[in-house]
Amino acid sequence: MKKIILVSVLSLIFAASCKQKETSETSMKLTPPKADKIAKNLEKHGDVRVDNYYWLNDKENEEVIDYLERENDYYEKMTAHTKDFQKDLFEEMKSRIKEDDQSVPYFYNGYFYITRYETGKDYPIYSRKKGSLDAEEEILFNVNDMAKDFSYYNLRGINVSPDNKWVAFGVDTLSRRKYTIHIKNLETGEIQKETIPLTTGSSTWANDNKTLFYTRKDEVTLRAHRIFKHVKGTNSDQDEMIYEEKDETFSSYVYKTKSRKYLVIGCFSTLTSEFRILNADTPEGEFKVFQPRTRGLEYNISHFEDHFYMVTNKDSATNFKLMKTPETATEKENWEEVVGHREDVLLEDVEIFKDYLVISERKNGLNEIRIKRWDDAADYYLPFDNETYTAYAIQNIEFDTDILRYSYNSLTTPASVIDFNMETKEKEVKKETEVLGGKFDKENYESKRVWATAEDGTKIPVSLVYKKGMKQDGSNPVWQYAYGSYGSTIDPYFSSVRLSLLDRGFIYAIAHVRGGQYLGRQWYENGKLLKKKNTFTDFVDVSKFLIEEKYTSPKHLYASGGSAGGLLMGAVVNMAPELYNGIVAAVPFVDVVTTMLDDDIPLTTGEYDEWGNPNDAEYYHYMKSYSPYDNVEAKAYPNMLVTTGLHDSQVQYWEPAKWVAKLRDTKKDDNILLLQTNMDAGHGGASGRFEALKEVAMDYAFILDMEGIEK
């Protein structure tokens, strides 16, 4: 590994300016690809949008593939001078990872289950040991062997039958999230001939050890909307459909309660949920509706003894509350309050044990874990002592135990798996993720939470991490990240990969913008539908704050986001391009109006409650006002790297491809604009753990190159 060279601020700025001049000269020598302009008029509500690149939607068209390959070739040539650096970054990141690593075993139904990796191997090995960790290891799946003939391979949904003799699992070899379910005999090691195509990959066994319930997807939209019942040993063509979700804004799934008593069909949209239940001992029976769907009523269910417990927003409980109801009377008029609604606390989840109820909450943006005995003999919170941590319950599959397993990490502390005795309050750190290489010391880094003020006066929290000795003089490079959609919260988490930025003088900033749930459910509500622009303005206001407080300057500020976070990137570069020197937009959702008007595209109809339905004129015009593709202007844009996957089923490749083509034709600057398409992968990128690191190294090298950092 090359030695990291520390330079003075003056020399760093000089190197950066020289490097950008060199890069600019390189870009002038190379001619970027130019996509043909074929005008297509798209009319809605009397409004006409002219889309010159609509033709890129057809990947069966050889000219489309040719254009993507020309863009890839341009990317390769424009970044050729960083190839060695990318390799060095990859090796550096890889060197911090314990290659022969394994998970903390968890116990379930008589077996300890383990996931482990071997040195030099990309994929996990799933195994188990009967009764004791000293027992002989039984390999369930060596995914390295299974994946060897595929450029992409994803195994998920491992589901062992109650008698421990069979395991169902899903496989996707194209990254389109179309999983084929297989069944393996754990006594003989033989994979059965029967296959179940076009599923979510997940499934659940009835208690008879032969009946398997699973969810099928629509071939075109990929909406998971039909629940089937498969009998082991039969052809899947004979499978009985037991439920079909007719409402195109809903999707469905099936699982078994932790108590193992009930099979559950869940149906959900952004705003509404509904469940059906069936005793797992009687798979031939009919599922019963738990509580009929009511628009705006959200709930989920857990089973304990003779009651169900619901985390729900019933009766305007915006931040949710916990209720219970007898298993024989599940309609909402029978629900009784267990933990009430609080304006300042978001109730996120519960874990049920024989003697304890564990409640996951969020207050002022911070995770809290509350432990309460059913008999009310104890009620307390686990103590956490900073503002940039993440803590959550994991792998609590056993019911009759006093041990709560949870994970803890912070921006400066690697992830730990901790077993906490809820009776004695003693904790045992089962594992702290090792950071190899001999150079990491958590005492060399600092983190803190600061608050930016948005344009409307709202305080926006920002989590920062950096190497000690940072000076607020405006010279620091900052990598600002956010997501900001679907109520998905980006908690402050540790990343050994991120050390490659911090050790080179970067500050890493997570902007907890509206659209996530960092500050409760209302934080999400204020960043969706007709308030979606708050997400974008929050991010811009955080950038302005970081500049005003001299953490950085526009010459050294970089931003990144993926998927809906890529939409965020597209919006902010239209709104305030002058604030950023570089942008990385991964699989960006940038053609919002056209996509949301096309109900044949995967996920569209199920997202009307997130973005709005553009068939309604009010939502149409609001979307159009921020849609990155529709708002490209003839002005200067930052240096930009845009990445996508040809087989992406969530954000189709043509959105970033069209966006880049339009930017090339419209923007008024000589800054770098690159499109890199992974021709083998989809939304999540490469499937192997080390192949994925190469993609991170690619992104990092692009931004570090902007700073003139070559080592």
Instruction: List the catalytic residues.
Output: 563, 648, 683
Amino acid found at 684: G
Q: Which bin fits 210, alpha (ψ -120 to 50), beta or left (φ > 0)?
A: alpha
Q: Helix or strand or coil: residue 371?
A: strand
Long-range contacts of 495-501 (CB under 8 A, 24+ apart): 496/93, 496/96, 496/97, 496/414, 496/433, 496/435, 496/440, 497/93, 497/96, 497/693, 497/696, 498/465, 499/96, 499/435, 499/440, 500/89, 500/92, 500/93, 500/700, 501/700, 501/704
DSSP states along 160-224: E-TTSSEEEEEEESSSSS-EEEEEEETTT-PEEEEEEEEEEEEEEE-TTSSEEEEEEE-TTT--E
154-160 and 427-432 strand pairing: unpaired
CB atoms within 10 A of CB 334: 14
Q: Helix or strand or coil: residue 466?
A: strand
Give every CB contact of residue 671 below 8 A, 6+ residues apart in sequence. 24, 636, 637, 638, 639, 640
Q: Which bin fits 430, alpha (ψ -120 to 50), beta or left (φ > 0)?
A: alpha
Residue keyed to tokens 């991490």: 465
Sheet of strand 416-421: strand arrangement: 389-393, 403-410, 416-421, 427-432
CA distance 453 to 184: 56
Residue 452: phi, psi to the nearest 5? -90, 155
Task: Give Cα 192 distance to the centre of its chain.
Answer: 33
CA distance 519 to 527: 12
**C-beta of residue 586 within 8 angstroms of C-beta of residue 562:** yes
Beta bridge partners of 420: 404, 427
CA-to-CA separations, 258 to 41, 108, 421, in angstroms, rounded: 53, 11, 20
CA distance 531 to 511: 18
Residue 85: phi, psi to the nearest 5? -65, -40
Instruction: Tabulate helix, strand, coil % of the chain (nearest 5).
Output: 25, 35, 40
Beta bridge partners of 361: 347, 368
546 burial level (CB within 10 Å; 0-12, 13-18, 19+):
buried
Q: Whats the size of the chain, residue-wise?
A: 711
CA distance 455 to 375: 49
Question: DSSP class of residue 514?
Answer: B
Residue 336: phi, psi to the nearest 5? -120, 145
Give every CB contact of residue 681 below 8 A, 6+ residues apart in sequence. 151, 152, 175, 645, 646, 647, 648, 687
* Four-CA torsion 11, 15, 17, 22, nearest 10 degrees: 160
